[in-house]
Structure 1
């Protein structure tokens, strides 16, 4: 599916973006490992999260309401998963894969995980190495760095203290989930704070979790109890509409029920630093997660430097922040973001290539990019999505203020995280 975006003005309305992708994944995982029935409201029905649902169904978990935003997960307890009859196909979901490998290491059965062409090229040693040191048995291409990866269960996992070389929620989560099956206390120490949905939900489901600065610990063999999980709107998805409202003339949007987890809200800090007219309304908390409504108006943007410890807090939003930077007064520099090179695609190279195609002057850095503004966006071109949902949506937002329509190839990848994005954008 190709997507054509025509220039627009006056984006107005009150909207609710889809549920948080990270929390949706984890709600299904922990609901499956808990005892009893977990009700989930606001689940993201994107393809990545449905890959998580399918994987647990393949391991014997009954899940009602699949394909809907409200579901019921009938958990079977920490040791209630069953050996799958076939290979676990995890689609394009790196989150599903890396977290699942931690869980699979603690099972007493054999399993094989694979995914699509893109996922089979993404590095997995960042989780198979530390979980392997705990006793997990992984076999696969490039020394269990690339899918397909076989996990041989039935091993006794040992608790560990792992000093992660990178601030990565997926690495931390995989080790902590493996730690559920270890004797003793498993600890992860990070160089900077990464998103903390896993430890929040583990605590919510009854695990013994301790958080001390950059150190997170969990005690093995907890008795997880089913809970009701309300999934807030995904701030990463909301970021596209926040930037759209900020750069499109005569616009004002209110985004409802957006998750404002402090380990995810770096984009708010970045947009405020860029002088975006942004207001948080009706701040509150649900199942341990802070949420609010966000009002954004057309703004006169200023350049910024985005670097250091804030990068893990907005890593998924950097593509759309690059679009915002093209309309800011002065040179914006984004650095320390080399993690972008091992996402669904090399997002640094992809954004530099496609923004250049749109007539913008952009300088590529090994760890980010530099872009001066404001610059006029030239339409009348066809851009590539690289089969990456965040690249595709960033280019769509850029097309709103181009001088001619912009066509984006293979835009169906947007459904991975934001089903209905095209229709919502056209309705505003």
Structure 2
């Protein structure tokens, strides 16, 4: 699997803030992560790729970022945008953020609100979207911020802003989200504490702080592995080993749900890589059963719901999902986009405000109802999910474009061809 996208972004950002050289192996070389690398170069960091794929990052130190001479083009990457807004909020520089058409339609207000409380100023486009100008504040103001919605990006933006903020900044999480930022901040030497109190997580960072460079081995991306896990479960005769998959418990929700549905997913060679739990996964064809998915698990698999919807379309019985309003503000409205796509492929789907209800085919192939291609809305996960649906459909599935896949998984089509040969 390609390197984990979340960890790849953070390794470049924190490496660019450390004094000295950070070496990163296994970095995801998708368009989103490369946009982060270019942004950090614009602000003074040296990021060099060696012939063996290792990245050498020489940072400028916390507080040492330079004024970018041009707009920071984030392409399609919402993670890059929101995390960099946090990183720059406590630096006294002005930055313009731009992105492609898809990213420019995604709301940034949930990040703007806490960062504004810390002293940064923002001039977004109408609706709180890109293009956006921000004026960082130095020194920024420490605060205690309770997340109104479960969002690892908002949490991480505030924690990154705290690095150059004098005093203690605390984020309170009512619902745990992926914890890559906390793990990596600790690895770089930040003064960070994570405590449980009254069923909530309290994450505190003391700033300003100096970061120490380190060597990072990026594990395989579980969100990328998800497509091959579902493919192996759905295609009769499949017996697939997917190597080096990150199994951080804040990211492994899909595996939990697929096992509840009857999926055969075995962990082999369990180990730790760069502070993250990792294993090889052996996945075999299984007859899945529809279930009611507990909405509490959503933060641990928010990016994997599109491909879960595909799995549900082939299960015995009905699968229901709720509490997924967050999916409407991703690269596309993933609830409507997947409902439309699966119906086009021949599935029975009801769309609700906060989720989908999918009546499975009982393991029978889907039969498309139209010759029209699926509309991906420039969303990489829609394109990849429907490619997996095509493997188990009688006439295959045509998508309008595979170009968006390059944002997160450049060699997806090649690997899919090899796995299904």
Does 2:349 align with 1:344?
Answer: no
In structure 1, the residue matched to 2:383 is 392
Q: Is the 8 A contact 1:45 1:68 kept in 2?
A: no
In structure 2, the residue matched to 1:378 is 367
Does 2:418 align with 1:427?
Answer: yes
Relative to structure 1, the CA distance from residue 69 to residue 168 in structure 2 (aligned partners, 3 Å threshold; closer, same or farther) is farther
Q: Distance in 2 between matches of 1:153 and 1:351?
A: 38
Q: Distance in 2 between matches of 1:324 and 1:410?
A: 22
In structure 2, the residue matched to 1:50 is 34
Does 2:282 align with 1:295?
Answer: yes
Q: Distance in 2 between matches of 1:257 and 1:373?
A: 31
Q: How much has 1:141 moved relative to structure 2? A: 2.1
**TM-score between both structures, scaled by the size of structure 1:** 0.94
Q: Distance in 1 between matches of 2:15 and 2:400?
A: 37
The more displaced of 414-423 and 345-354 is 414-423
In structure 2, the residue matched to 1:211 is 194
Q: What SS does the corresponding residue of 2:47 show, helix, strand or coil? A: strand
The structure whose RCO (Cα within 8 Å, separation 6+) is larger is 1
Q: How much has 1:329 moved relative to structure 2? A: 0.9
**TM-score between both structures, scaled by the size of structure 2:** 0.95
Q: Distance in 2 between matches of 1:24 and 1:372?
A: 37
RMSD, aligned CA? 1.4
Does 2:125 align with 1:141?
Answer: yes
Does 2:311 align with 1:324?
Answer: yes
- Name which of 36, 41, 45 aligns with 2:25: 41
Q: Distance in 1 between matches of 2:139 and 2:51?
A: 36
Q: How much has 1:401 moved relative to structure 2? A: 1.1
Q: Distance in 2 between matches of 1:66 and 1:420?
A: 20
Give 1:79-228 correspondences, 5 Å limit.
Answer: 79-142=63-126, 145-213=128-196, 214-228=201-215
Write out per-residue CA displacement over residues 228-263 of structure 1, whole angstroms, 9 at most, x where no aligned residue: 000000000000000000000100111111100110
Q: How much has 1:51 moved relative to structure 2? A: 0.7
Q: Distance in 1 between matches of 2:246 and 2:19?
A: 27
Q: How much has 1:326 moved relative to structure 2? A: 0.9
Q: Distance in 2 between matches of 1:203 and 1:166?
A: 24
Q: How much has 1:68 moved relative to structure 2? A: 7.2
Q: How much has 1:191 moved relative to structure 2? A: 2.1
In structure 2, the residue matched to 1:13 is none
Q: How much has 1:114 moved relative to structure 2? A: 1.1
Q: How much has 1:66 moved relative to structure 2? A: 7.7
Q: How much has 1:125 moved relative to structure 2? A: 1.0
In structure 2, the residue matched to 1:5 is none
Q: Distance in 1 between matches of 2:53 and 2:80?
A: 18
Q: What SS does the corresponding residue of 1:406 show, helix, strand or coil? A: coil
The more displaced of 312-321 and 375-384 is 375-384
Tell me the number of residue pairs that the alignment of Structure 1 and Structure 2 aligns. Answer: 411
Q: How much has 1:381 moved relative to structure 2? A: 4.6
Q: Is the 8 A contact 1:360 1:376 kept in 2?
A: no
Q: How much has 1:307 moved relative to structure 2? A: 2.8
Q: How much has 1:389 moved relative to structure 2? A: 0.6
